[in-house]
Amino acid sequence: MTRIALAVEYDGSRYHGWQRQQDVDSVQARLEAALSQVANARIDVVCAGRTDAGVHATYQVVHFDSNALRPDQAWLFGGTHALPPDISIVWARRVEPDFHARFSAITRSYRYVILNRQTRPAVHHGHVTWWRERLNAEWMHEAGQFLLGEHDFSSFRAKGCQAHSPIRTVRSFSVQRQGDFIYIDITANAFLHHMVRNIVGTLLPIGAGIHSVTSLRDLLAIKERALAGITAPAAGLYLVNVVYPEHFSIAQPQAIPGFYAPLLGV
């Protein structure tokens, strides 16, 4: 039995999230079907972090075990060939048996992309969140600094979240504007269900000047989801990186050219 790790990117627009489900299309189901063709046997994959319906990834990491003797290139090119055009394998390699895409991860990073202009997007439709009113990225960045460190994130936790604890550690947080695009970047040891989208939904009225910068600090302390902001749309959210201990030798993502350049700021 060999353990294989993959990095996968996908456009989540037409999928009901990452997780395999009955009667609906998912990224996991598509990936497992493609890899099963390469292996000529059933393949079940484990991911670093499950993404919701409509959420995208430029660097999702998965692992699976297989008795099939295939070179890394076969998993990479054979798997990608069997996938729909909105899912692609970035790399594939054999890893140690104790590597686990989810439990070995040290941090995960998400980017949320907002198109902040008066008219709706066309080229980026389904890949950014459109916000018409002018937002002050500096106010949003300042408010986000209250999230750094270990906190109880109950105020930003979805009602149906199945995590055992609301305690998470945010390692970095930034908001920056480039033209009409606003990029919100957050790295943490792990995330609660809808945590990033709920944080963004709370930052929007701060950026619009409706709520004060310190209101986010107060909401974090209250630990009450009903008092925080909306759940921001899924379309603007991207899983962009997962970091593992160095001894696993898991590659870090490179600058992404082409379509994602304006989205990811590279």
Active-site residue flag, 44: no
d(CA 196, CA 113): 12
User: What's the token pair of residue 80?
Assistant: 């990608």
The single residue of 52, 98, 180, 185 carrying the catalytic annotation is 52
Q: What are the distances in angstroms from CA 84 to CA 5, 32, 34, 130?
A: 20, 12, 9, 27
How far is the C-alpha of 142 from the C-alpha of 178, rounded, in Å?
A: 17
Closest by Cα among 68, 69, 104, 75 to 91: 75
Which residue, 57, 103, 62, 96, is CA-closest to 79? Answer: 62
Residues annotated as catalytic are: 52
